[in-house]
Amino acid sequence: MEKLIDPFARPISYLRVSVTDRCDFRCVYCMSENMSFLPKKELLTLEELDRLCSGFVRMGVEKLRITGGEPLVRRNILTFFRAMTRHLDSGALKELTLTTNGSQLEKFAQPLFDAGVRRVNISADTLDADKFAQITRWGRLPQVLRGIEAAQNAGLRVKLNAVALRGFNEDELLSMTEWCAARDMDLTWIEVMPMGDIGNEDRLDQYWKLTDLRARLAEHYTLTDLPESTGGPARYVRIEETGQKVGFITPLSHNFCESCNRVRLTCTGELFMCLGQEDNADLRSALRNHPGSDAPLEAAIRDAIRHKPRGHDFDYSRQTVDGRVSRHMSHTGG
């Protein structure tokens, strides 16, 4: 079947899927404490998610990243992971992976490995238990640490994702780097993005520029730029002293969109062609209106890809948050 190519000749081979907007944490930069969630009937069923993802795989998607909200709080989510194993077995899908807050990994790490997952990105912005409770509001660090350990014991490669927050985790730059190095884990820093109204938090105050973070790291270690890219916004360096990889996701200070290879599906079946734009296509109707045939769904996907924009419009340069998008990260799936 003909592969998906967008108007800027970028092949679309990576689908990020948000399987729920719910979460057991309330990270201050992501959600308000009294966040309201979608009614269950709005969500795609696991069977519908399977049909959609399988359609994308037939059209050339080779990497599937499951995210949310917290993907592992979606009921029976393992059924979905196990259903995707058939695409790994056939060779059509090269990677099945997830981004998680780690809270449920003690229970899920082994079954995920058994379903074919080999790598997992776990989010943790601090290794201090009190600060962790403060930033996640509802999260508890020891539970996440047990989850990380379970993931490694199951054979999953772990990458830690940390949002760089000025005045919050600046002082942990070296200790977190060393903690990850000691456990053979890579570490990726993310700049905070203007997604969704989360009440009184001001992301401009929280914004810690990664060029500054990198310069501080370079005062202590020898950094070698790595040419590799996963087609996403992360750029990587190797720390020569520890051998580990450190990534920088700089959506605001670096333009990486030219090599974009991804689109994202929300838990309600909207396809967002770009994380930083509002334009989306309703795939749920194409799915529900044609239960017996996948052709209308495939046509809707192709049509959507024809509208993929060149890039995002986030801009902090004038010291106001321009180009912000109104939906939450947990809806689009960070």
Ligand X SMILES: Nc1nc2c(ncn2[C@@H]2O[C@H](COP(=O)(O)OP(=O)(O)OP(=O)(O)O)[C@@H](O)[C@H]2O)c(=O)[nH]1
Ligand Y SMILES: C[S@@+](CC[C@H](N)C(=O)[O-])C[C@H]1O[C@@H](n2cnc3c(N)ncnc32)[C@H](O)[C@@H]1O
Contact set with ligand X (CB under 6 A): 65, 67, 99, 121, 159, 161, 190, 230, 232-234, 249, 251, 262, 275-276, 312, 334
Query: Using CB atoms, what's the residue nearest to ligand Y?
Result: 334
The Cα 226–Cα 255 span in angstroms is 17
**263 appears as a binding residue in the annotation:** yes
Q: In the complex with ligand SF4, which residue's Cβ is closer, 30 or 160?
A: 30
Q: Is 257 in the site for ligand SF4 (CB under 6 A)?
A: yes
The Cα 323–Cα 117 span in angstroms is 35
Q: In the complex with ligand SF4, which residue's Cβ is closer, 40 or 220?
A: 40
Closest CA to 25 of 73, 74, 77, 97: 73
Shortest Å, Cβ 309 to ligand SF4: 7
Start-end of H helices in 208-309: 210-218, 283-288, 295-305
The Cα 178–Cα 242 span in angstroms is 8
Tokens linked to 241: 């002293």
Task: Find all residues with CB under 8 Å of 254, minimum gap 6, and list them.
Answer: 233, 235, 248
Length of the chain, please? 334
Shortest Å, Cβ 207 to ligand X: 13
Q: Is 275 in the site for ligand SF4 (CB under 6 A)?
A: yes
Q: Is 23 in the site for ligand SF4 (CB under 6 A)?
A: yes
Shortest Å, Cβ 87 to ligand X: 17
Q: Is 68 in the site for ligand Y (CB under 6 A)?
A: yes
Q: In the complex with ligand SF4, which residue's Cβ is closer, 135 or 181?
A: 135
- Beta strand pairing status for 262-265 and 270-272? antiparallel
116 binds, among ligand X, ligand SF4, ligand Y, none (CB under 5 to 8 A by kind): none
Closest CA to 99 of 265, 261, 334: 334
The answer to whether residues 251 and 263 touch, using CB atoms and an 8 Å cutoff, is no
Q: How far apart are the first and last CA of the chain?
A: 29
**82 appears as a binding residue in the annotation:** no
311 binds, among ligand X, ligand Y, ligand SF4, none (CB under 5 to 8 A by kind): ligand SF4
Tokens linked to 324: 């912000």
As annotated, the binding site includes 16, 23, 27, 29-30, 65, 69, 99, 123, 159, 193, 257, 260, 262-264, 274
Q: Kindly list the residues in this chain that would bind ligand SF4 in the complex (CB under 6 A).
A: 23, 25-27, 30-31, 68-70, 101, 123, 233, 256-257, 260, 262, 274-276, 311-312, 330
Indicate the annotated binding residues for GTP.
16, 65, 99, 159, 262-264
